[in-house]
Amino acid sequence: MANFERILVTGGTGFLGYNLYQYLRRVDPMLDIWVYSRRTGDSILDYPKLEAAIGDKDLVIHLAAQTHVDFSIDGSTQEKQEFVDTNMKGTLNVLMACRRHNVKMVHVSTSEVYGTSNNPGKPMTENHPLLAQAGVYAVSKAGADLLCRMAYMTENQDVVIVRPFNMYGPHQSMEKLIPRFIHLASYGEPLTIYGDGEQRRDYVWVQDVADALWRARNLPAGEIVNVATETSYSINEIAEIIIRACGSKGMKVHTLRSDKRPAEVQELNGSFRKIKHLLGWKPVVGIEEGITKCVDWYTANGYIQPPKIINFG
């Protein structure tokens, strides 16, 4: 088993990056962890600076990405181009820098690369076709996956792909569903659901994802694994769980059926059998426990607005 002591986390100041850093500090306080993020003035589009940062590392965990699905659908031309630049060009830069310096790379993808399940009701495996449909975000992340696959197939590069399903947990900003619903429910405000609310998602506790990413350093080159729970919940069900957890009896839910997001993915439900077999990983925190933990955390700490990001354009 390789020794990974010096680690670079791209996108390390985001929701997953923050939780991953905290997890790694608990797992091994002696790890030498470096964070590379636009919020600290470091862009993965700046190749010379990126290469210099990667050059003396043992492992790169690549989280940096543009992730706001709505912006990738309804945003301006410039905003949509930023998804392609960051998610594809940026990933290519990370790949090239890691290859030049012989550094292992864990690429963090997303379940959105799959699109809607071809077999509703059954967990999606890593062999599900890439049918990304949720805006430029999903398509650009699918492109990043294919760049990583190409690097392994053509250069035998030591890169692995991890596809988490819908993450949630402490420190997530209010642009995401669960913290937004908790915020509204805690103040007695109605929860607004777009479409019919029957869209189903597989929600994974963010610290469980952090555990999976750290284990992924031991995957052989070219492997692709899901991080999922094999259980999906509708948006309506999530709303009801949050209402109960907040003690908001009689809370109203507004369903805006005419405002369904274009190309809405109807169901994401992932299999974790492969990562369990290869690395012994399995989800630990279930949705009821996780949402209760979130309610407690947001009650104690308040609500997180998305931070401003340095624009290198």
| 182 within some domain | no
Which among 33, 34, 14, 12 is positioned nearest to 24, based on CA atoms? 33
Domain that includes residue 146, residue range:
6-173+204-230+269-284
Report whether 97 contacts 48 (CB < 8 A). no
Kindly report the CATH number assigned to the domain that includes residue 151.
3.40.50.720
pTM of the model: 0.93
Spatial distance between the Cα atoms of 179 and 26, rounded to a whole number of angstroms: 25
| 78 within some domain | yes
pLDDT of residue 248: 76
| 299 within some domain | no
**What mean pLDDT do residues 201-228 have?**
98
pLDDT of residue 67: 77
**What mean pLDDT do residues 250-258 have?**
65
Q: Of residues 73 and 133, which shows the higher confidence score?
A: 133
Report whether 163 contacts 227 (CB < 8 A). yes
Tokens found for residue 195:
């479409």
Tokens found for residue 253:
């839910």
- Strands 104-108 and 191-194 come out as unpaired
In this model, does residue 312 exceed pLDDT 50? Answer: no
Spatial distance between the Cα atoms of 163 and 263, rounded to a whole number of angstroms: 20
pLDDT of residue 313: 43
User: Which region among 48-57, 136-145, 297-306 has the lowest average model confidence (pLDDT)?
Assistant: 297-306
Tell me the C-alpha to C-alpha distance, in Å, between residue 277 and each of 1, 162, 213, 216, 301. 17, 15, 15, 12, 37
Tell me the C-alpha to C-alpha distance, in Å, between residue 192 and each of 235, 240, 244, 259. 10, 12, 16, 11
| 121 within some domain | yes
Which residues partner with 104 through β-bridges? 59
Report whether 117 contacts 152 (CB < 8 A). no
Contacts of 208 by beta carbon, 8 Å cutoff, 6+ apart:
227, 283, 284, 285
| 252 within some domain | no
| 195 within some domain | no
Q: What percent of the chain has pLDDT over 70?
A: 89
| 160 within some domain | yes
How many domains does the chain fold into? Answer: 1
What is the pLDDT confidence band of residue 216, given thresholds at 50, 70 and 90? very high
Alpha helices, H only, the chain? 15-27, 47-54, 69-74, 77-84, 91-101, 135-155, 177-186, 206-215, 235-245, 273-279, 287-301
Other beta carbons within 10 Å of 254 = 10
Other beta carbons within 10 Å of 197 = 18
In the chain, the largest separation of any two C-alpha atoms, in whole Å, equals 59
pLDDT of residue 188: 86
| 262 within some domain | no
